[in-house]
Amino acid sequence: MKKVFKILFGLIIVVLLFAFLFVPKIVDKKFNTVSTRPPYKVDKEAQVLYDSLDFVADMHCDALLWKRDLLAKNDFGSVDIPRMLEANMALQAFTIVTKAPRNMNFDKNTGETDQITLPFILQMRPIASWFNLTERALTQCDALYGFEKKSDGQFRVISSAKGLEQYISDRKSNKNITAGFLGIEGMHALEGKLENVDELYNAGVRMMSPVHFFDNELGSSAHGVDHAGLTEFGKEVIKKMQAKSMILDVAHCSPQMVDDILAITTKPIVSSHTGVKGTHNSVRNISDKHIRGIAKTSGLISIAMFEPATGTKTPASTAKAIKYCIDLVGADYVALGSDFDGAIEIHTDVTGLPLYVEELLKLGVSRDDIRKVMGGNVKRFLLENLPKN
Ligand SMILES: [Zn+2]
C-alpha cells in the first residue's frame, strides 16, 4: 500500500511539473497563431517607405497575458522586444486582459465563468492575482516594467507626454530602442472600486476600456447580454479617468455604450482595436456613426488585423478598412490596432507590418496618409493626451 501511495505521489508531482513548466507555453502557442509566418516578402517601394517611417505604432496587444519572455525572440505569437526592434516599431500598446468567460464568443457572454484563473495559477503568477482582478492587472503592469528593467535600455515603458518626447528625441540617434505603454481591456479590473482607478494609474496604466466580452459594473459589452449603456458607476469612472488624463477606449462596448460615452466625454477617445461595419458587418465592428463620433472628439479608430474584425485572413482586408475610415473622416483619426497575441489567428506577426504599407499603396493611399496611419497619428495623439509628466 505504501509503495502504491509513493508511486501515485510521484506521478502527481510529474504531472504538476509538466503543467507548470510546459502548459503555459503550449497554450500561448495554440491560442496565438499567425496565418503567414515570417520572413515576409514585401514589394520594394513599400519596404523603402516603411523603413523611412520615423514612428510605427500599434494600439493593442495582449502579450502580457501569456507570461512570455518578451526579451527573447520567440518563434510563436506576434510580439516580443527583439521582433519589435526588427520591425522598426516605435511603440506598442500592451493592453491587459483580466477575465475571459469560458466559450467566449462574439454574440452572448456572461461574466459567470473565467478561463484566466487556471492559466494564472499554472504560470505561477503571484497568489494575490489568482482570484482578484485588480491584482491580476497589477501583476501584468509589473511584468512590463520588469522587461524594461532587464532590457539594458532597449525597451521603455511610456507613461507621460514628457517621457514620450524624451524617447522620440533619443530615438533620433538610436534606432535600437523600442517602447510600450499600458492599457486595460475591461474595467471589471477595478473590482467595482472607484479608488482602484488611482491604483492602476499609479502602476502605469494610461488607457482603459469599460468592458470586454461581458457586461460589468460600468455597462454593456457588444458581446454581453443586456446591450444597455453606461451605468452611474461607469460615468463616475470615466470622469475620474479623464481628470487624470487616462485615455478612454470604446473597443468591445455595446453601441448604446458608445453613444453614452460620446455624449459625456470631455476628451478625445479611441477604439483601440476594431474593424468597421462598412467593410465587414459584424457585431464586433464599429458603425459609420461611431467612426464619425470618435473622429469628432479628435480621437483614433485603430484597425485590427484578424478575420472576425476585417473579414479575411489578409493584410489587404485590414488596409481596406483603413481606407474606408480615411474616406469617411480623413487620415488624421486612423491608426493600427492589431490585437497581436489576443488569442486570435492574426494575419502576420509584428515584422509583417510593411505588408500593410504595401496594401495601402495598392489602394492609392498617399504616402503622407500612410505615415499618419502607421504611427504618426498615435504619436501626435499621445503627445497631446497623455499626462504631461
Ligand atoms: Zn479585444
Rounded CA separation 144/208 (Å): 16
Rounded CA separation 115/266 (Å): 35
Distance from residue 272's CA to the centre of ligand 1 (Å): 8
The more confidently predicted of residues 13 and 257 is: 257
Rounded CA separation 124/121 (Å): 5
CATH of domain 32-385: 3.20.20.140
Burial degree of 185 (CB within 10 A; 0-12, 13-18, 19+): buried
Task: Give the tens place of pLDDT for each residue, 273-308.
Answer: 999 999 999 999 999 999 999 999 999 999 999 999
Nearest CA to 208 among 315, 98, 125?
A: 98
Q: Which long-range contacts (CB under 8 A, 24 or more apart) does 121-128 make?
A: 122/19, 122/20, 122/23, 122/24, 123/24, 123/67, 124/20, 125/67
Q: Which grid coordinates are listed for 327?
A: 474616406
Task: Give the tens place of pLDDT for each residue, 168-197.
Answer: 999 999 999 999 999 999 999 999 999 999
Distance from residue 339's CA to the centre of ligand 1 (Å): 7
pLDDT surpasses 80 at 19: no
Instruction: Collect all residues with Cβ–Cβ distance below 8 Å to 153 and sequence separation of at least 6.
Output: 177
Most confident range, picked from 13-22, 73-82, 244-253: 244-253
Is-contact 96 65, C-beta < 8 A? yes
Res. 352 pLDDT band, cuts 50 70 90: very high
Distance from residue 186's CA to the centre of ligand 1 (Å): 9
Distance from residue 129's CA to the centre of ligand 1 (Å): 21
Is-contact 284 275, C-beta < 8 A? yes
Distance from residue 49's CA to the centre of ligand 1 (Å): 29
In the chain, where are the structural domains located?
32-385
Mean pLDDT on 223-241:
97
Is-contact 134 199, C-beta < 8 A? yes
Distance from residue 200's CA to the centre of ligand 1 (Å): 19
Quote the DSSP letter at residue 37: P
pLDDT surpasses 80 at 328: yes
